[in-house]
Amino acid sequence: MRMKTILILLIASAIFSCKEKKDKVENKISQPTAIETVIAETPREIKTDTTIFHEPEPINPEKTEPDAVSSVFAFNKFPSADYKFVKKAKLNFSSDEGAYNFRTRIKEAYASGTPDFASYYITVIFGCGASCIMGLMMDVRDGKIYGLPLGEETSCMFAEDRAIFGLGSKLFIASICKESPEDENVYYHAFVWNEEKKVFEKVEEKDIK
């Protein structure tokens, strides 16, 4: 009888022990493990400052042929060759180091214009500051680009006239200047385009009248 009682106690103890272990396992599984989780933030747009080159506003020359003011100059002393304009070559921006900075102005002037200086060239002129203008010219034969003799070196505070030139002449009057508004005397920045060397050469007052 005593052995039977001991056997019953052992069986009951074993059943209780299994149930306790099972409960512990279930509890352990049902509780999530604390794990640090890094949640990726939604990518944000990163804006960077971009330097945009604003091209100067174009300045349309008041003339491309000598008028009452410029008729005192001897444009006929520097004639350019006869040339029958037919079509334009593709622009060659590699021909001038700084031309690409003004590509929009150049393209627009070239597309809409016809030769207006020294037989072959389409010009574009724009402002470069107070009392200052600058410009370029494009050869319709090969699309090459050249700088005009304008800018700070040929600008003056009191200008009577600027950028005087014509289709049939290689003479280019960059500016007619005075020392003051009341001054009756004027001086000139004048150049002649050397078609062979592809450069502007300065000329004196005695040579242009």
Q: Is residue 33 part of a domain?
A: no
Q: Is residue 198 part of a domain?
A: yes
Residues 6+ apart with CB under 8 A from 155: 131, 132, 133, 175
Express the helix, strand and coil content of the chain in percent, nearest 5 each. Answer: 30, 25, 45
Q: How is residue 31 annotated by DSSP? A: S
Q: Is residue 49 part of a domain?
A: no
Residues 6+ apart with CB under 8 A from 152: 128, 129, 132
Q: Is residue 65 part of a domain?
A: yes
Query: Which tokens belong to 186?
Result: 């004027």
Domain span at residue 69 reads 58-207
Q: In 32-138, which ranges are continuous DSSP H helix?
A: 103-112
Q: What is the pLDDT of residue 129?
A: 73
Has residue 77 got a pLDDT over 80? yes
State how many domains the chain has: 1
Pairing of strands 121-127, 58-59: antiparallel
Q: Is residue 187 part of a domain?
A: yes
Q: Which residue has the higher pLDDT, 15 or 135?
A: 135
Q: What angle do CA 168, 114, 137 make, to 5 degrees?
A: 75
Q: Is residue 73 part of a domain?
A: yes
Has residue 98 got a pLDDT over 50? yes
* Nearest partner of 83 among 57, 120, 52, judged by Cα: 120
Q: Is residue 48 part of a domain?
A: no
Which of 5-9, 174-178, 183-187 shows the lowest mean pLDDT across its residues? 5-9
Q: What is the pLDDT of residue 45?
A: 36
Query: Which tokens belong to 152?
Result: 């700070």
pLDDT band at 85 (very low <50, low <70, confident <90, very high): very high
Q: What is the pLDDT of residue 14?
A: 52
Which of 25-34, 86-95, 168-177, 199-208 shows the lowest mean pLDDT across its residues? 25-34
